[in-house]
A and B are shown apart, each in its own frame.
Chain A
Amino acid sequence: GQNIDQPTEMTATEGAIVQINCTYQTSGFNGLFWYQQHAGEAPTFLSYNVLDGLEEKGRFSSFLSRSKGYSYLLLKELQMKDSASYLCAVMDSNYQLIWGAGTKLIIKP
């Protein structure tokens, strides 16, 4: 079966760095997405990786290793507004998105 695993919840301190991991087992791979979802709101797109390596976008970076079925989202200089759930999703061989359950990130002052 297809499976996406990410931690349920993480806590970090304002101004610090946090890494949210995602491991996946899917039938085929056509890219990995990260979305941010604030409580009660819609998910919003953060990043897309299809090749191995690190993609940097401001305070957020996303890394992919296809051979290990592994990705992480790195958030630097954490701000209180970064408190949200972070969803990992993999596009399989049928171009369907398989979603993880999300990681709830709590930022403390």
Chain B
Amino acid sequence: DVKVTQSSRYLVKRTGEKVFLECVQDMDHENMFWYRQDPGLGLRLIYFSYDVKMKEKGDIPEGYSVSREKKERFSLILESASTNQTSMYLCASSVGQGDTDTQYFGPGTRLTVL
């Protein structure tokens, strides 16, 4: 079974703090993704990575950065947290096979910025 883990299920931070969200997958997947999920909206892609040290902007990268130093780990960084970044953050990974590429999700981190 694919296992995607995220460092925290719940996190509370203050405005202006630097926040690190960690994601680890154990299936040697090439692709990794960070989404945020807000009520009434679909999953929105923040950043993704197709290889180690490689990153691509998604639909809403502003205010975020990422790091992929090792294949199994993909980190999301909020440089200076703001209240509008309060959300559920979901990490996903996939093998990387084009059109049949199923994404597998971690349990999510519910971040509250006060």
Q: Which positions in A face B, CB cutoff 8 Å? A: 4, 8, 30-31, 33, 40-45, 48, 50, 87, 89, 91, 95-102
Contact = CB atoms under 8 A, between A and B. Distances in A.
Interface string B73-109: 0000000000000000010000000111111111110
Contact of B42 (A44, A45, A95, A102): A102
Contacts, number: 49
Given A41-B108, A42-B108, A95 B99 contact: yes
Contacts of A87: 42-43
B42 A99 contact: yes
Interface of B: 4, 40-45, 90, 98-108
Contacts of A102: 42
Interface residue SS majority, chain A: loop
